[in-house]
Amino acid sequence: MTALITGASAGIGAELAREFAKDKINLILVARREQALKTLAEELSAEYNINVSVIALDLSLPGSATELYKKVQSLRLTVDYLVNNAGFGDLGEFADSEIQKQEDMINLNILTLTKLTRQYAAEMKTRKLGTILNVASDAAFRPGPMMSVYFATKHFVLAFSEAIAEELRPYNVHVSVLCPGATQSEFGEVAGFGPPQENSPFPTSKEVAEFGYLKMKKGEVVSVHGGDNRNRIEAEKSMSRQQIRETVYQQMSGLI
């Protein structure tokens, strides 16, 4: 068995790799930073006696999903688990944003994820076996002033994952979507929140990965990490769209 994991060099992606490794599942690790991938690959192959392949690739670039698919084909490996974890965000008003960064975000968070899912879902459907884990966010359930494009991309990941979960279910292909909230990882620093803080109240990437991996194994389609996040999502069902927008805007503005 082999799992292909994107965004595997750090954070939730690296911790998901460790969860698969514990179950003796071979790995194909993908991210931009080759040395970080090699270091992780050496650690996991030594500790768990599994085969770990490394592919250094920037998945925000147009055509990168096709390039990755061809590279995996050249390895002559069957992908039993596809984990679309790679993604990033950007904090600030959309009208002042760098449009190339927004385009790269859409390419990575939506287009690459969609293309990889299409390529491997077809193979899994033919085999009548496989699992796809897409990493969305608790942001998927609400509009996101001050992170408008990021929230919107995660809306897509959630809706898309739920839809294909139903389509692929008759073929014994399981689709799961993990929706974490704020997490101790590099994501916040890249998005503009600043470096991780000591004594952070947020869960670790390890905690989120363990949760998401367990829910995937149990066959759950949508899993939201954290009781507070689940309670908030439930409470917002009784709020107007305007109330939600205003609440999120106040929360996100306070982070700048």
Taking only the tens place, the pLDDT of each residue in 97-137 is: 999 999 999 999 999 999 999 999 999 999 999 999 999 99
| 189, pLDDT greater than 80 | no
Taking only the tens place, the pLDDT of each residue in 42-78 is: 999 999 999 999 999 999 999 999 999 999 999 999 9
Q: Is 150 a catalytic residue?
A: yes
Q: Is 171 a catalytic residue?
A: no
More confident residue, 123 or 200: 123
Alpha-carbon gap, residue 2 to 25, rounded angstroms: 6
| 205, pLDDT greater than 70 | yes
Q: For the chain, how many structural domains are there in total?
A: 1
CATH number for 16: 3.40.50.720
Residue 212's domain comprises 2-253
Catalytic residue, candidates 81, 120, 150, 213? 150
Please give the pLDDT value at position 198. Answer: 65
Catalytic residue, candidates 81, 154, 213, 215? 154
In terms of Cα–Cα distance, which of 32, 54, 119 is closest to 111? 119
Please give the pLDDT value at position 202. Answer: 85
